[in-house]
Amino acid sequence: MIDVLIIGGGIGGLALAQGLRRHGIAVTVYERDRHRDERVDRYRLAINPAGSRSLRACLPDRHWQAFTDTAGRPGGGFGFLGTDLRTLVLVEDAVMYPADPDPAGRAYPVDRQTLRGVLLDGLDDAVHYDKAFERYELTADGRPTAHFTDGTSASGDVLVGADGINSRVRAQYLPAATQRDAGAVGVGLKLPLNDDTRAWLPARLAEGMNLVLTGAPHFLFTSVFERQEPTGDDYLLCAFVARNDLFASRPERLDGQRLKAYVAELITDWHPALRQMVDECPPHEVSAFPFQASDRPAPWAPSRVTVLGDAVHGMPPAGGNGANTALRDAALLTRQLSLADGGHLPLLDAIGDYETEMREYGFHAVELAMRTLRQGLTSNPVTVGLTRGWFSLCGIAAPLRRMTFGASWAEISAPRRWERSA
Ligand SMILES: Cc1cc2nc3c(=O)[nH]c(=O)nc-3n(C[C@H](O)[C@H](O)[C@H](O)COP(=O)(O)OP(=O)(O)OC[C@H]3O[C@@H](n4cnc5c(N)ncnc54)[C@H](O)[C@@H]3O)c2cc1C
């Protein structure tokens, strides 16, 4: 039986661990967090149909049920608004993701912390905390040993780097695979959705997802997270995204109050409700994320070391595809390793096929995220004018809406060949 070591217990690493366990493959996850509750994952994630299918493939039935039970209420569409809150176009859910009778083919808003709980469920014996990976070594027959900063080590048949955008596994394994500053910073804010805030929040902002287009090198994304059963912790996630030079250097070091002040200064001429929204977000729920993007590396020869998720194809969250792509990696790698484990494929062929396919959809997602980010940040008056004019036309004509928005959402999450045959 194959014995798999996973470095990093984030979304991709944990989904892979669940998937491998489901196929009876031995797996251990090494996570640098000191304990399970060290991290508070504050925001919500948009899981698209590719992410849902991947979760369905990796998770045992009980976990999948927990995922759908704890997901937020879907719906509300995607609005493109002006800073005066005028709706240029409202893209209906059915345009973004055509209705699918199979729950695994749908999109779900999820709370990150809740998803993490689902992914960790049943893995207590497999996840080792306070294990910061330092480096690996390969034996003469190519088997990996991972070394940790506490001086301990672990050996297995396959080592998977699922250790996020600043991956140490990738740095050692693929030193030519670099990542770059994507040129923008995101400030995440969270407004509680309760009777008080709903009383003044304009109706459109209290629904679905929205993008406030500004014509300046910044924009605002909003997304509602409402639980299916009322628990009193519904919220509106806001992400203010700006070109780097509009912010202080190292914004991730600023506290919530200072970050809010930066944002407030850039939106003084926006609709008062948008300003109030930023103003009323509690400072302890505000943080900054400098965006990074991985460069596409030249193909490499497969070995018993591989990588998944942000560790290899990190991307800015414009378009919300990073976690979905990490989940897709987890599902595909599960499939490939179980084929090898069952003797249907040589191990290195299984890993090589995974990497070939992963590079294709993974770096396509990076390019799409960069394109979306650039479009959002453009301040070229001609482009801005044309975009607004086109969006307004789309707002009136449903066929234009389907043509313009349907294709881009559907394309990234459409099943790949191996997913259709699964
Ligand atoms: C504000 C924001 C909003 C986003 N929204 C969306 C969205 O709506 N939809 C979407 O699809 N994506 C979204 N993303 C992107 C998504 O969060 C990432 O793409 C996703 O978390 C990547 O998963 P991963 O498992 O590859 O890495 P991570 O989730 O980053 O996990 C990496 C893990 O490795 C651990 N680790 C790191 N180094 C070491 C080490 N040396 N040793 C041991 N462990 C280590 C880390 O502690 C972490 O647990 C968003 C990102 C941001 C910042």
Q: What is the pLDDT of residue 357?
A: 98
The answer to the question of residue 412 being in a domain is no
Mean pLDDT of all residues in 53-72: 97
- Among 163, 219, 238, 333, name the best residue to mutate to test ligand 1's pocket (greatest count of ligand atoms within 8 A of Cβ): 163
Residue 248: pLDDT band (50, 70, 90) is confident
> Is residue 202 assigned to a domain?
no
What's the pLDDT score for residue 415?
A: 94
Size of the chain in residues? 422
pLDDT at 41 over 80: no
The pair of three-digit structure tokens given for residue 285, joined into one six-digit string: 């729920």
Average pLDDT over residues 46-51: 96
pTM above 0.85, yes or no: yes
Angstrom distance (rounded) from CA 48 to CA 339 = 26
In the prediction, which pLDDT does 274 show?
97
Pairwise pLDDT comparison (134 vs 420), residue with the higher score: 134
**The domain that contains 130 carries what CATH number?**
3.50.50.60
What pLDDT sits at residue 38?
86
65 inside domain:
yes
Q: Which domain holds residue 139?
A: 3-72+106-179+293-376
**Across all residues in the chain, what is the average pLDDT?**
95
Closest to 46 measured CA to CA, from 164, 178, 171, 209: 209
Distance 134 CA to ligand 1 centre (A): 19
Atom 35 of ligand 1, residue of closest alpha carbon: 8
Centre of ligand 1 from the C-alpha of residue 10, in Å = 6
Nearest atom of ligand 1 to the alpha carbon of 188:
1
Binned at pLDDT 50, 70 and 90, residue 290 comes out as very high
Q: What's the distance, CA 248 to chain centroid?
A: 25
The closest-lying atom of ligand 1 relative to the alpha carbon of residue 13 is: 25
Helix (H) or strand (E) holding 399: helix 398-401
Cα torsion angle, 209, 214, 220, 226, sign: negative
**371-387: average pLDDT:** 94
Q: Which residue type sits at 160? A: V
pLDDT tens for residues 206-230?
999 999 999 999 999 999 999 998 8
Specify the ligand 1 atom closest to the Cα of 322.
19
Residue 229 lies in a domain: no
Whole-angstrom distance, CA of residue 391 vs CA of residue 373: 17
State residue 69's pLDDT score. Answer: 96
Q: Which atom, in ligand 1's list, is nearest to the CA of 51? A: 11
The set of protein residues with a Cβ atom below 6 angstroms from ligand 1 is 7-13, 30-33, 43, 45-46, 132-133, 162-164, 168, 186, 188, 239, 289, 309-311, 317, 320-324, 326
In a domain, 372, yes or no: yes
Q: How many domains does the chain have?
A: 1
What local confidence, expressed as pLDDT, does residue 81 receive?
A: 97
Is 414 part of any domain? no
- In a domain? residue 190: no
| Separation of CA 176 and ligand 1 centre (Å) | 21
For residue 393, being part of any structural domain is answered with no
Residue minimizing CA distance to atom 9 of ligand 1:
320
Q: What is the pLDDT of residue 403?
A: 92
